Amino acid sequence: MRIEEGFQQPPYPTEHPYTADPILPGLLKRFLPETVRNTLETDLVRLGDVLADGSLSLEYAARLFFMSFITEIRPLAPLVQPATLTQYDEFGRRVDRLHTSEGWRKIEEFTIKEGYNAVAYEREYGEHSRTFQFARTLTMTGDGHVVSLSEVLTQLRPPTDYPQIMCPMGMTDGATDDPSAVASFTEWAHGVIAAVPPLLKAQVWKALDTLSAAVNKLPDLFKESVVNPLLPRLVLTYFAASSCALYLLEHATWSYAAGESTVEEDVEAFRRWVLEGDLTKTEADIASVQGDPQGRAELNSKLVYGTRAPPAKL
């Protein structure tokens, strides 16, 4: 039997990156005034159309001057490969040549002409400009071959399909060097938890207790990570997971109070993130490296390299 005659895995659906997102439109409804949101949504829908099927108006194509080299973004996926670096040439000289794929270069040019970062600094929408930039980033991220937290949560695209990963911890580690920043974070976190309506608290009390306990542990964990070499990575992961849980809780609280049609999904997303996600798993990992960090580090070295140094190879 030929391969094509057997079971065929159906491709993942390629839906509109903005209108089919179950979370992003609701977030904008929560954060933006209606007049601003209506204006920005028009552009996000237009952007999603370009990404999904290349449906560009002639005026828009002429303005961006890129119809000649790209008409569709999503079909470029097979042409996108991870960038590679050649450090030395065949004569042993340091050259540091960066090699990028054809698809990568075309998408890069598209994002530059779209003003991927510029919209936040042009301030056309005042205090909402940064929010608009984030919304455009989340809309473009999947087809730009970078996986963001939003897409993992909404399961619009499987993260294993993409060669480049954007990690939320990169945005949190800068805030953890200053003890006062951690104190401000915990104060804000407890405020978010306290703002949950009583009836909603009754539904997710276990997740709330777990999250509250995690927030209370953070200050001491950051202090301990200074002397325990096995803790820093785990603590940052714990911090990132707690931050994500708090944002999900904020959104679930708003959705519940506003009577949104997605309230059931919003509440369940928070509950699952806390009780079934990285928060509880990382807490167990942290516990495993506390107590005797030096002894565990030495055992780690022995497990990887053995108890004796390998003989020199001449």
pLDDT in tens, 173-229: 444 456 678 888 999 999 999 999 999 999 999 999 999 999 999 999 988 888 888
Q: Is a pLDDT exceeding 50 seen at residue 39?
A: yes
Residue-level pLDDT at 152: 34
Confidence at residue 149, expressed as pLDDT on a 0 to 100 scale: 36
Beta bridge partners of 164: 146
pLDDT in tens, 244-300: 999 999 999 999 999 999 899 999 999 999 999 889 899 999 998 888 888 888 888
- pLDDT of 175: 45
pLDDT at 306 over 90: no
pLDDT at residue number 53: 59
Average pLDDT over residues 107-122: 78
- Nearest-10 crossing angle of helices 129-141, 34-53: 20
Structure tokens at 168: 């939320």
Q: Where are the alpha helices (DSSP H) in the chain?
A: 24-31, 34-53, 58-64, 102-113, 118-122, 129-141, 149-154, 179-194, 198-203, 205-224, 232-258, 263-276, 278-289, 293-305
Parallel, antiparallel, or unpaired: how do β-strands 84-88 and 94-99 relate? Answer: antiparallel
181/219 Cα distance (integer angstroms): 10
Confidence tier at 8 by pLDDT (50, 70, 90): confident
Level-2 CATH architecture, domain 171-301: Up-down Bundle (1.20)
Return d(Cα 105, Cα 100) in angstroms, integer.
Answer: 7
For residue 9, is pLDDT > 50?
yes
pLDDT at residue number 242: 94
Model confidence at 87: pLDDT above 80: yes
Indicate the pLDDT class of residue 55, thresholds 50, 70 and 90: very low
**Crossing angle of helices 179-194/205-224, nearest 10°?**
170
- Model confidence pTM above 0.95: no
User: For a pLDDT cut of 70, what percent of the chain falls above it?
Assistant: 80
* Residue 27 CB neighbour total at 10 angstroms: 20
Q: Which of these ranges, 89-98, 116-125, 168-177, has the smallest mean pLDDT?
A: 168-177
Predicted confidence at residue 63, as pLDDT, reads 42
Query: What are the sequence ranges of the domains in the chain?
Result: 24-166, 171-301
Share of the chain above pLDDT 90, in %: 27
From CA 53, how far away is CA 6, in angstroms rounded?
30
In DSSP notation, 245-271 reads: HHHHHHHHHHHHHHT-TTHHHHHHHHH
Label residue 174 left, alpha or beta by phi (over 0 means left) and psi (-120 to 50 means alpha): alpha
